[in-house]
A and B are shown apart, each in its own frame.
Chain A
């Protein structure tokens, strides 16, 4: 068999495989989700709670991959945007408006507030954006604490119980049924964004602003849009957290949570949604495990972040890619040897 026809057949196979790309992503997630469901049917409540929280953080972190992972803009406001979503759900009459409109409202509110930071982010370099998001995050916290007649101040605000198809969502057992498909959907959305022209323009702007501008990339618009998308996902995550806890309070959305989300993105790597989800599960498990350590948890947490940054440049996905790249190289070399022979 000549090598020409063979490589043509191979190219055709690659093309068809790429055509399947939009289906393969969600299919993978659906299979994972199904495995999850089976594995969890008899799991204890604490495990279910951890998985539920991991879902919430995964959604917010998927949003953050767009801004931080793709566009390279360090945002410290993601947890505060979650608070916006959570308080939106807490303050509207959940029982009259219904679950879906409430979640949509939370998404819109999160996107709008996050878009404010985007207006600054579009105009300035990355470190100014970090400062602006810190100001936004602290500003949100200040409003939540000071306007106690509306938000309940530092005591927080209760959230009405919601049920979906008769299943109580404050119970992690049923919450997961809603959250896992949502995580899959968000992961797929971010995956598509990453492959799209929009994702490419963000990556180009992060790599070299001058070059991207010269190539006709609308940097300002892409960056603002990135913060809006990321804010929408954070709003959704915050709303889910509020529904799960039946309560919102400013202490759940502090700098610690913001850093946890950034850590998930660094750990999961910017290049894969699956990596982000895995990192969210691992790090939520780790941070829940550290609850027993009380004050020492901050120490472990900060040191872990530093070690991660110093020792693992590409995150977990980076390690996976490196291994896959090496394996792939070996397979390719073997194939060329075969063809030569």
Chain B
């Protein structure tokens, strides 16, 4: 029972991070209809930058902020330089471009910071509190707290304000949205920058737990995709819930079934959702995915 409780606790902390990734990914998707394969790679860019800023002698909060801003800046440049010129082409071309960006990020990180794993300090202490046989670290509380403080207001803003409506409209019909005085290009840019901020936060939070590897980006991407697909691609609350569910599944599998196949469950869930119920848990019917 203690093991079970402990698994749940670490799943909640991991789930918060996966949810950050999945919400950012889904946000970009719901505005641009683009599957961003570089999302996880942008996420690991942030802790690498933080690591260097710490080395320069900056304080922890400043370094973390710098890392997140760097991820957002990268997302900005990626949208302007790479994706904006490809917008008129067949949808698979910009998607392939995001894969290429992921490869570039992996190469750059391993050139600049080396391919050996690095370790970043946690935001809060890893000294556990013991509560009735279970141990919770302050860092886990901070992870969940930051996720809640960032994601919940964001979901509220996107669900209720004009900007949020404009973003969702862009995905449905860019031309009609233009008639209402909204610039789709700006909305795309906004969604990429917001996605970059969320990804950067997730990267900074997960790096102290898993260590920093240049190849970690793709892994993070696939987990985020699975969570977003499970919740319904394009649905932000769905991505939030999906993140926690996927973390629970992965951790349960690792503890009770097989350590090696934890991620396999994430892939399996994604495949099953795509086969049986493409709109996931909370995806809407209009987006009902299968056009014909």
Which of A's residues lie within 8 Å of B, judged by CB? 68, 72-74, 76, 119-120, 123-128, 130-132, 134-136, 138-139, 142-143, 145-146, 206, 209-210, 212-213, 219, 255-256, 259, 262, 266, 295-299, 301-303, 305-306, 309-310, 313
Contacts and interface: CB of A to CB of B under 8 A. Distances in A.
Which label, helix, strand, loop or mixed, suits the secondary structure of the A interface? helix
Interface string B68-92: 0000000000000010011001111
16 contacts: A119-B275, A127-B35, A132-B270, A139-B271, A142-B264, A143-B264, A146-B260, A210-B292, A299-B107, A299-B108, A299-B111, A302-B104, A302-B107, A303-B100, A309-B96, A309-B100
B271 A305 contact: no
B107 A296 contact: yes
B226 A135 contact: yes
A88 B33 CA distance: 38
Given A135-B226, A146-B260, A126 B92 contact: yes
A126 B35 CA distance: 10
A202 to B, nearest CB: 14
Contact of B110 (A209, A295, A302): A295
Contacts of B93: 266, 309
B107 A134 contact: no
Given A134-B222, A295-B111, A298-B103, A128 B92 contact: no
A306 B100 contact: yes
Contacts of A146: 258, 260-261, 264
Q: Which of B97, B101, B274 has the most CB of A within 10 A?
A: B274
Interface residues of B, number: 49
A310 B37 CA distance: 18
Given A127-B95, A209-B291, A259-B99, A138 B222 contact: yes
A44 to B, nearest CB: 30
A138 B292 contact: no
A130 B91 CA distance: 11
Contacts of B267: 135-136, 138-139, 142
